[in-house]
Chains A and B, each alone.
Chain A
């Protein structure tokens, strides 16, 4: 079916870019505008910008900042973080983004998907499922940056999101985030074989082989943070996107 999208994930917080490990220990990476310029020069397939503290801190998107970031990007851009209403989504689109990413708000109001989709199309609405395993509780979907556990398994929640009309689903593993140890391929495989919409694997990528494994497991696209913002595991910041990196499906 062609070239698989490889998507750098940029975590935004108070105007700066950060990288987390297991959704914690955020480390400062650099200035978002400069980083986006690099991904633009390197012709990255797409960018995913997440203001990961917005919902936790009960604030909306920083529209001025994200608009400035999108102005430097001649590739598809998705934004998530603090979107609570149709009007929030509208402002994100007006800032130059193609897609809005929703998570926390959906546990209170699934109908927001349909409201946005009716105007901007289903392809513009991305549902993000943050996934975490616990010893007794099994694997569950989380919200508010991994601080709030739901009663749904990733598969149950993915089905709900699909039914509600999302255009694609991100499976983001909290356990794998920032670990360079490979994606949560079990969950990715389970979900991508049970929904008709594209699934984006996120969390844990450390090498091109990891990306390929997620695709083999059923992912339609692969997202990664550490791999594109660090030189290597445990080493310094180096924003990059290898132009030779390509996966066919």
Chain B
């Protein structure tokens, strides 16, 4: 069972809808026992970084996730804010994240390009940078739906699994062992996203 972790933020219903279409057994849950019994975890998220971390702390989910992800090494996929929360720090609210990957979350730098509109919103093609299992058998010209104002900035290039260009190149997906993250929304990216979720489920 795939546990879609409910910490009060995010596109839970959309993810559940896509899992249903794919025949993936998925449950939206905040219950520690259910999360513990899941074979895989999904950390969704749409919203404010600070609020996300506050909710992970106040719900008591943070220590549980630390244990399941860092000690038990359960596969986890973070989506959008859920992936950003896995970094060490975000400029959005200037708060500490979960710190599972060697990256921070920074705002799109509009000083680099006067014409740049933020948020980056829409479909973009991605460039995969390693043989990540999430990318196996992706349909050709993979494109995904993005909507974000902040993006990952990695200190450890080995953890980067895909990049994307929006005025400048930025990291749009990462993997560190059992920890996966995508800035884009697989649950809103038609057949491309379905393949990614299917691949994650088959890990």
A interface vs B, CB < 8 Å?
1-5, 40, 43, 45-46, 67, 70-71, 74-77, 93-96, 98, 117-124, 167-168, 196-198, 220-221
With A124-B47, A167-B119 as known contacts, state yes or no: A96 contacts B9, CB within 8 Å: no
Roughly how many angstroms separate A123 CA and B149 CA in the complex, as a whole number?
Answer: 8
B184 to chain A, nearest CB (A): 11
Q: Which 6 A-B pairs have the closest CB atoms?
A: A96-B13, A123-B119, A5-B122, A198-B117, A123-B147, A120-B47
Residue-by-residue, is B160-174 near A (CB-CB < 8 Å gives 1, otherwise 0)? 000001110000000
Chain B residues, CB < 8 A from A45: 122-123
With A74-B193, A98-B11, A197-B117 as known contacts, state yes or no: A121 contacts B46, CB within 8 Å: yes
Does B124 make an interface contact (CB < 8 A)?
yes
Nearest A residue to B92 via CB reads A121
The answer to whether A3 and B143 touch across the interface, beta carbons within 8 angstroms, is: yes
Not counting A121-B48, A122-B149, a sample of 10 additional A-B residue pairs whose C-beta atoms are within 8 angstroms of each other reads A3-B122, A71-B17, A75-B145, A75-B189, A94-B12, A94-B13, A96-B14, A119-B51, A123-B121, A124-B46
Which residues of B (98-126) have their CB < 8 Å from a CB of A? 110, 115-119, 121-125
Roughly how many angstroms separate A196 CA and B111 CA in the complex, as a whole number?
Answer: 12
With A120-B46, A121-B46 as known contacts, state yes or no: A4 contacts B122, CB within 8 Å: yes
The answer to whether B9 and A119 touch across the interface, beta carbons within 8 angstroms, is: yes
Does B187 make an interface contact (CB < 8 A)?
yes
Does B194 make an interface contact (CB < 8 A)?
yes
Residue-by-residue, is B2-21 near A (CB-CB < 8 Å gives 1, otherwise 0)? 00000001011110011001
| Most chain B beta-carbon contacts within 10 A, residue among A76, A77, A124, A196 | A76
Chain A residues, CB < 8 A from B116: 1
Chain A residues, CB < 8 A from B185: 76, 98
Chain A residues, CB < 8 A from B124: 2-3
Chain B residues, CB < 8 A from A75: 145, 188-190
Nearest A residue to B186 via CB reads A74
The answer to whether A76 and B166 touch across the interface, beta carbons within 8 angstroms, is: no
**Can you list 30 A-B contacts (CB < 8 A)?**
A1-B117, A2-B122, A2-B125, A3-B124, A4-B122, A5-B122, A45-B123, A46-B122, A67-B13, A71-B17, A74-B189, A75-B190, A76-B145, A93-B46, A94-B13, A95-B13, A96-B14, A96-B17, A98-B185, A98-B188, A121-B48, A123-B149, A124-B46, A168-B121, A197-B117, A197-B118, A197-B119, A220-B117, A220-B121, A221-B121
Residues of chain B at interface, number, CB under 8 A: 40
Q: Which of A70, A71, A121 contacts B149 (CB under 8 A)? A: A121
Nearest A residue to B51 via CB reads A119
Which residues of B (51-96) have their CB < 8 Å from a CB of A? 51, 81
Q: Which of B14, B143, B148, B167 contacts A123 (CB under 8 A)? A: B148
Nearest A residue to B148 via CB reads A123
Chain B residues, CB < 8 A from A2: 122-125, 165-166
The answer to whether A118 and B51 touch across the interface, beta carbons within 8 angstroms, is: yes
Chain A residues, CB < 8 A from B121: 5, 123, 167-168, 198, 220-221
A223 to chain B, nearest CB (A): 13
Roughly how many angstroms separate A4 CA and B48 CA in the complex, as a whole number?
Answer: 26
Chain B residues, CB < 8 A from A94: 12-13
A215 to chain B, nearest CB (A): 12
A86 to chain B, nearest CB (A): 13
The answer to whether B118 and A196 touch across the interface, beta carbons within 8 angstroms, is: yes
Chain A residues, CB < 8 A from B191: 43
B193 to chain A, nearest CB (A): 7
The answer to whether B119 and A122 touch across the interface, beta carbons within 8 angstroms, is: yes
The answer to whether B17 and A74 touch across the interface, beta carbons within 8 angstroms, is: yes
Chain A residues, CB < 8 A from B148: 123
| Most chain A beta-carbon contacts within 10 A, residue among B13, B121, B189, B193 | B121
